[in-house]
Every structure is written in structure tokens, then in C-alpha cells.
Homo-oligomer: A and B are copies of this chain.
Amino acid sequence: MTPLLNDRFLRALARQPVDRTPVWMMRQAGRYLPEYRETRAKAGDFMSLCSNPQLACEVTMQPLERYPLDAAILFSDILTIPDAMGLGLYFETGEGPRFRNPINKLEEIEKLEAVDPHKDLSYVMDAVSLIRKELNGKVPLIGFSGSPWTLATYMVEGGSSKDYRRTKKLIYDNPELAHRLLDILADSVIAYLNAQIEAGAQAVQIFDSWGGALSYNAYQEFSLRPMMKIVDGLHRHYDGRDVPVILFTKGGGQWLELMAESGADCLGLDWTTDIGNARQRVGNKVALQGNMDPAVLYAKPSRIREEVNNILSRFGHGSGHVFNLGHGVTPEVDPSHAAAFFEAVVELSPKYHNL
């Protein structure tokens, strides 16, 4: 493979010196970009886009043409694993993801088996290989998966949920069965992310979108523990390179000390956490990724720049910070506002580094 031309992202994850703070943006290949909407229209529905390696590669590359990004992220969905398990993922306009065959009866959990990514999700690995080839060493490629708890909520609720009624009833009334489901999902995520790493992913992120809906105790038992199993099972060194792991629990700001003990290299922060305070709390155990409120991208570019500056100064001097939003960019954002965000990081961050 071609040598990596920009290793800022990987160096920051390893808390090694960098010339400026690296930056990427969750959902950077997405609906706010007109060129994405064009490719998406060509593909038909969302899953057709995800499952077509050529088109997935095309949209992955699009934001890199526009912005000074320090990482690319595989274009896919967090719910490919339950889809491969036969739950039938689809997207209803404005409704978010849904499953045609959600888990309706507890007995169905007994019958579930971990996915074999090489068989059931080979289209993802094909996309990873293709993107690596296309990137040609420009920036590293991030692979990803949903967390077991997050996947479980969608599988049990059949889609998005306000209060996770069925999934919470499961963890409280049938903790053993809940752990069986989470175990199968953790095994599946391990196999899936390792397959992505083998195909070329240079870092991986675990998206725990709904861990923040749990109580302190339930988070530890039903979301963090399965994620720790994953971190333990991943290729952390593969083919002569270190493969860093980023853990992102949205709404998990109160639990950073616990997450910092997970073995992950980096914690993603949403915007409710003060990144200076987070850095004090986790010390030198992990790098931090985040954490501007995506809604700031609705404000004028001068305000976006101020917010970027504020976060940079709160993190302070030195490496260990990957700049990002605190959640995915939203479809209504003006691409020129995203440009202001990236420019601000590129221009304002060098003074926080000695290199």
C-alpha cells in the first residue's frame, strides 16, 4: 500500500506531537452536500447506496474534495449488522431507520447467531478496499460500527424510540437474555470491525448513540461492558500498524472516567461536555475527539470561528485532541458553513502545538 501522506489524525490519537489539531466531521459524507444528494438519487434508496461499494466509495471521497480533512470515514450505516442478521433494515423518509422483522418475542433472541462479516457483509469490506485504493494514502480511513446496546435498541424497538420501553424492560426483567443478545452483538461487532481492519481501515469508531439513555448502573452493565469486550477483541496491531479505537457514547459525559478505563485510545465527546474539564478528568489515559454543537453550523461563519476557538482554547496546549462536531452534521447545514468550521480549525489550532 502507498505510505500515508497525512498522519495527523493517527498521531493525535496516539497523543504524539502534531503541527495542528486534526479535524474530521461525523456524517461528513452526507445530505448537506449537493453532490451526495446527486449520488444518492442515482442509487435509489439509502441501503442501495450503502451496499454498492462503488457508490459508497464515491460519497466517502466527496467531502475530501471540498475540505482540508485529516481523515475519511467509510460511508455505511450503524445498522448493517442487524440487517445482515435478517432483520430487514429500511429507511422511511423522515422517520429514521426501521426493521421489517424486529425482535418481537424473547424466544427470537435465543435463535440469533453472530454474523460472519465475510459472508454477510462483504459489500462493506469491498467498499473499504476500494476507498483505500482511491485515497491513495491521502488521509487515513476510519471504519465503524454501532455499539451492542445501540444495535439492540433498534432491534428490539423496531426503529428509533423515545423511551426504549421494550429494550429497558428486557434489561431489567431479563438481564441474562439481554446479555445473550448483547454478547452476540459484541461478537458480531468484533468480527465486523476486524474484517474492516483487514480490508484496510486504519482506525475504528464505535458509535454508542443511545448509551446516554441509560442510568449510571445500567450503562456500565449493558453498554460499556459489551464495548469493553469489543475493544479487547479487536486487532489493535495489524500488518505492522497500530489500529486505534475511538469510543463515542452520546450523552456519556458523566461517565468519562469509566470509559477511559475501557482500553480505547480515544473518547468522543458530545457538546454538553466542557472539553477542558474532560481532559482534566481523563488525564493522559486517552485522546479526546469533539465537540462543537452541530447546531453552531447554522450560525454565521464568524460565530462558528469563535466557537472553534473556544473549544481549542478549552482543550489547551498539546496533542491528544481530534477536532470534530459533538454529533453528525445535519442535512440543513450550508456547505460553506462547514468550510468555515474546517478553516477555523486549520488556521487557529497551530498555536496550540509546538511542532
Contact = CB atoms under 8 A, between A and B. Distances in A.
A261 B160 CA distance: 37
Most buried by B among A163, A168, A215: A215
- The size class of the interface chain A forms with chain B is 35 or more
Nearest to A172: B299
Contacts of A253: 253-254
A146 to B, nearest CB: 19
Contact of A173 (B254, B299, B332): B299
Contacts of A296: 168, 172
A332 B162 CA distance: 13
A120 interface: no
A353 interface: no
A195 to B, nearest CB: 33
Interface stretch (A5-13, A35-43, A76-84, A267-275): A267-275
A298 B165 contact: yes
Main secondary structure of the interface of A (DSSP, over half): helix
Given A293-B218, A310-B217, A298 B172 contact: yes
Interface string A299-314: 1100100010010000
Contacts of A298: 165, 168-169, 172
A216 interface: yes
A169 B299 CA distance: 5
Contacts of A213: 272
Nearest to A327: B163
A323 B84 CA distance: 44
A129 interface: no
A226 interface: no
A209 interface: no
B215 A271 contact: yes
A334 B131 CA distance: 52
A343 B251 CA distance: 31
Most buried by B among A216, A273, A332: A216
Nearest to A298: B169
21 contacts: A163-B294, A165-B298, A165-B332, A168-B293, A169-B299, A172-B296, A172-B298, A172-B300, A173-B300, A173-B303, A212-B272, A213-B272, A215-B271, A215-B326, A216-B273, A216-B277, A217-B310, A219-B272, A253-B254, A254-B254, A254-B273
